[in-house]
Amino acid sequence: MNWKTFFICGLTGWCMEILFTSLGGLLRGDLLLNGHTSIWMFPIYGLAAVIGPLSVRLRHWPVLLRGCFYGAGIMLVEFISGSILRLFSLCPWDYSKTPYNISGLVRLDYFPVWFTAGLIFEYILSQKKHRRTVRIGRSSICILFLLLWEFTADAGIIDSFVFSSPSKIVTCFISMLKDGSILLHTGITLFETFVSFAFVFFFSLLFAILLWCSRKLSETLEPYLVILNSLPKSALAPLLIVWLGANYKTIILTGMSVAIFGSILNLHQGFEDVDTDKIKLIQTLGGNRWHILTKVLLPANVPRLLSLAKVNIGLCLVGVIIGEFISSKCGLGYLIIYASQVFKMDWMLMSIVILCMISMGLYGLIGFAEKWYQKRMG
């Protein structure tokens, strides 16, 4: 244990306690989501740094057993530190009026919480120094930005009506979550994005194979594909609406149009770049085009497919939002346009934040699949 891991655990514990207490307030009907902690909790949470060296020794234990061990240890530290602070009337917590408490210092029904917290600390401390530093840096930038945004809005430095504030956005989200409207808009956008992505993946792979099968077809269509890929897709959306009507099919097609042409060109180039010696070997052994495709081209281009998928999932989301801007009556894109028209800036910024989180989640999902494949392939 060193001062850096002590500081990381103290800060992490603070954040977890604020989040936990704010969620508890939400369950009691407090839409302000007030969370709290104490300065005294920082060194107590900092002691979780011992989990780092412990996790190395316990790495062969099942995760359930490790979590139980950490949870019991945290509750023991909670009891000892609380007893010491109580001697000086400084203990910031008192469970004496709650069930399943021990001397008002420990709640046995909180064991699942400490079980989870212990495994979170283990995960954070098990990360390599460089990766941990990067993640802490990212988190710090985000937290500082939110705090600065909230402070400047509350202090009147920026116009809270125009720029809103994190607390107003959270309150707006909870309000729309209760009536289910935000789930409807988010669900529709996700559905259209996933359908667009699936179609882009299937048709780009199909057309790339067709172009590989016929050099004449490839040389004929390539300039048209380049032109279509270069066109601004926001200009295509109104045309598609005029031709196909204002419906979800048009939005899905708009989402596809943003990604499919570049994907076809990229995949076809990947097929062309495959080692020709491997193809000649298949042909020497009596293999046909099907064998070359399934034994050489597709396996060699799986990394490219996964890399394209990470890009295409975001492009499809962009295309869907463009379509919803113009022709939809539901979805996050529609919500952004409607909110801007009626000056409900909380709605608009909340929708933008949700889109950012969706983009991060979708990118992370494809990234996880890519890492899994790389690990499997050795």
Residue 163 lies in a domain: no
pLDDT at 65: 92
Neighbours of 147 (CB within 10 A): 11
Same domain, 271 and 355: yes
- Judged against a pLDDT cut of 80, whether residue 356 lies above it is answered with yes
Give, rounded to a whole angstrom, the gap between the first and last alpha carbons of the chain: 33
The candidate with the shortest Cα–Cα distance to 12, out of 93, 117, 106, is 117
Residue 172 lies in a domain: no
* pLDDT (average), residues 179-208: 91
pLDDT bin (cut points 50, 70, 90) of residue 166 is confident
Same domain, 15 and 101: yes
Domain of 111?
3-126
pLDDT at 284: 80
The distance of Cα 277 from the centroid of its chain, to the nearest Å, equals 41
Same domain, 193 and 318: yes
Q: What angle, rounded to 10 degrees, do the helices at 332-341 and 345-376 form?
A: 160
pLDDT bin (cut points 50, 70, 90) of residue 130 is low
Domain end among 126, 153, 169:
126
Please tell me which residue, 313 or 241, carries the higher pLDDT value: 313
Of the chain, the percentage scoring pLDDT greater than 70 comes to 97
The distance of Cα 352 from the centroid of its chain, to the nearest Å, equals 14
Same domain, 192 and 84: no
- Judged against a pLDDT cut of 70, whether residue 204 lies above it is answered with yes
Same domain, 206 and 121: no
E strands present in 17-82 = none
Domain end among 82, 103, 126:
126
Same domain, 273 and 360: yes
What mean pLDDT value characterizes the chain? 86
- Judged against a pLDDT cut of 80, whether residue 246 lies above it is answered with no
d(CA 317, CA 40): 45
Same domain, 247 and 366: yes
d(CA 328, CA 247): 7
pLDDT at 129: 67
- Judged against a pLDDT cut of 90, whether residue 342 lies above it is answered with no
Same domain, 194 and 299: yes
Same domain, 247 and 348: yes
pLDDT at 360: 87
Residue 43 lies in a domain: yes
Same domain, 348 and 203: yes
Number of domains making up the chain = 2
Task: Tell me the Ramachandran region of residue 302: left when phi exceeds 0, alpha when psi lies from -120 to 50, beta otherwise.
Answer: alpha
- pLDDT tens, 95-122? 988 888 999 999 999 999 999 999 998 8
pLDDT bin (cut points 50, 70, 90) of residue 32 is low
* pLDDT (average), residues 204-210: 91
Residue 278 lies in a domain: yes
Neighbours of 99 (CB within 10 A): 8
Could you write out the three-class secondary structure of 308-372? HHHHHHHHHHHHHHHHHHHHCCCCHHHHHHHHHHCCCHHHHHHHHHHHHHHHHHHHHHHHHHHHH
Same domain, 354 and 266: yes
pLDDT at 82: 92
Domain end among 109, 126, 143:
126
Residue 186 lies in a domain: yes
The candidate with the shortest Cα–Cα distance to 233, out of 214, 256, 203, 206, is 256
Residue 137 lies in a domain: no
Residue 118 lies in a domain: yes
Per the DSSP assignment, residues forming a β-bridge with 106 are 102
pLDDT bin (cut points 50, 70, 90) of residue 12 is confident
pLDDT at 59: 82
pTM above 0.85, yes or no: no
pLDDT bin (cut points 50, 70, 90) of residue 135 is confident
Per-residue CA distances from 122 to 27, 53, 55, 128, 139 (Å): 28, 9, 7, 12, 18
Of the chain, the percentage scoring pLDDT greater than 90 comes to 24
Same domain, 116 and 223: no
Question: Domain holding 281: CATH number?
Answer: 1.10.3720.10
3-state secondary structure of 214: coil
Q: What are phi and psi of 107, to 5 degrees?
A: -110, 120
Q: Please answer whether residues 47 and 125 qualify as being in contact, where contact means their C-beta atoms are separated by less than 8 angstroms.
A: no
Residue 135 lies in a domain: no
Block residue for tokens 């149009």: 257
- pLDDT tens, 137-165? 777 888 888 888 888 888 888 887 788 88
* pLDDT (average), residues 340-366: 88
* pLDDT (average), residues 62-80: 92
The distance of Cα 208 from the centroid of its chain, to the nearest Å, equals 30
* pLDDT (average), residues 327-355: 88
- Single-letter amino acid code for the residue at 374: Q
Residues 6 or more apart whose Cβ sits within 8 Å of residue 199: 252, 256, 260
pLDDT bin (cut points 50, 70, 90) of residue 214 is confident
